[in-house]
Amino acid sequence: MSNLNQLEQLKQFTKVVADTGDFESMRAFQPLDATTNPSLILQAATKPQYAPILEKVIADRKNTGLTGAKQLDDIIDHILIAFGLEILKIVPGRVSTETDARLSFDIDGTVKKARELIALYEKAGVSRDRILIKIASTWEGIKAAEIVQKEGIKCNLTLLFSLPQAVACAEAKIQLISPFVGRIYDWFKAANKREYTGAEDPGVQSVTKIFHYYKHFGYATEVMGASFRNVSQIIELAGSDLLTISPDLLAKLAESHDPVTRKLDVAAAKSAPIERLNLDEKTFRFLVNEDAMATEKTAEGIRKFAADIVKLEQVISSKL
């Protein structure tokens, strides 16, 4: 048993990020950064304590002269920024704000949206250093992120389930990636009808492999494990650059005093025998297609985030 709880121990090896749209959770656990996505914003936006944010944005943007889809798009962007601005008052680091998942196969559309979101933050007086624009790890998403990264717009490539996706991000000099541990675990658990624990967890193994690859070849892209299902997955990835964790799991870590040791180590990665993966678009698409889990989970994630944006639009429409 340690004097420090598991959350405090974890923070010695890894930057802890809150995976929530809920401000109170962030205040309670004092993470460095925070990540949001359409599903989290939808959850938060439908809670009574966040209604004033929604109402204010709608009142402010009601008479811009925009109508229909353009008006909804404008209001959603301003809602995302409103949540982001509130979060930045709580966390000392960065907030991740997601582009519309319906742009996941649209390079130009994603570039335009990333620039619009950054412009709104800058207009509100926030430096672009404190913002990560979240984009799905499709070929088009990675190419769009590569373009805006060169403009100093830092990106968080999300819905990432495989090494080829991670390698393409590193080659594109993306700021940060979010490999989804829990969703990988979900897929293998359902496919193989068995439970996984500790280091044998396929989600843990995937992030470990990506971390080792990045550190071996000296890539600067940050690795942030995401989408956890249990504390064991988090503990197995202690030493990752960052981990983004939901409030319920942050609470469990804070309650336990079991020891946490560094599992991911840069020195070990540098000396490991790792083969370099050479990717062009055709190779990327083929390798991701060969990985049934990565293909299915990326597609499912895009569908879910797109559906939640539509639900958020319906919530807004009902208030207009």
Per-residue model confidence (pLDDT) at position 45:
84
For residues 118 and 82, give the distance between their C-alpha atoms in angstroms, rounded to a whole number: 13
Q: What is the predicted pLDDT for the residue at 41?
A: 86
Interatomic CA distance for residues 291 and 176, integer angstroms: 22
- Rounded Cα–Cα distance for residues 234 and 286 (Å): 31
Residue whose structure tokens are 């000392």: 92
306 part of a folded domain: yes
| CA 315 to chain centroid | 24
Assess whether 263 carries a catalytic annotation. Answer: no
How far is residue 91's CA from residue 102's CA, in Å, rounded to a whole number? 29
* pLDDT of res. 37: 85
- Digit-by-digit pLDDT tens for the chain (320 residues) are 779 999 999 999 999 999 998 899 999 999 999 998 888 888 888 889 998 999 999 999 999 999 999 999 999 999 999 999 999 999 999 999 999 999 999 999 999 999 999 999 999 999 999 999 999 999 999 999 999 999 999 999 999 999 999 999 999 999 999 999 999 999 999 999 999 999 999 999 999 999 999 999 999 999 999 999 999 999 999 999 999 999 999 999 999 999 999 999 999 999 999 999 999 999 999 999 999 999 999 999 999 999 999 999 999 999 88
Instruction: Confirm whether 1 is domain-assigned.
Output: no
The C-alpha torsion from 246 through 223 and 89 to 256, rounded to 10°, is: 40
Count of structural domains, the chain? 1
- CATH number of the domain that 271 lies in? 3.20.20.70
How large is the greatest C-alpha to C-alpha distance in the chain, in angstroms? 62
Retrieve residue 187's tokens: 């897929």
Whether residue 96 lies inside any domain: the answer is yes
Query: How many residues are given for the chain?
Result: 320
Question: Distance (Å, rounded) from C-alpha 225 to C-alpha 91?
Answer: 19
Flag whether 169 is in a domain.
yes
Evaluate whether residue 152 is within a structural domain. Answer: yes
Q: Which residue has the tokens 């964790």?
A: 245
User: In degrees rounded to 5, what are phi and psi of residue 306?
Assistant: -65, -40
Whether the Cβ atoms of residue 176 and residue 204 lie closer than 8 Å to each other:
no
Within-domain flag for 115: yes
Tell me, yes or no, whether 37 lies in a domain: yes
- Write out the residue range of the structural domain in which residue 223 sits: 6-319
Q: Residue 238 in contact with residue 232, Cβ under 8 Å?
A: no
Q: Which entry of 15, 134, 263, 297 is annotated as an active-site residue? A: 134
Report the C-alpha gap between 165 and 290 in whole angstroms. Answer: 12
**Residue 39 backbone zone (phi > 0: left; psi -120 to 50: alpha; other: beta):** alpha
At residue 34's C-alpha, the angle toward residues 133 and 212, to 5°, is 75
For residue 135, is it within any domain? Answer: yes
What pLDDT shows up at residue 128? 96
Model pTM score: 0.95
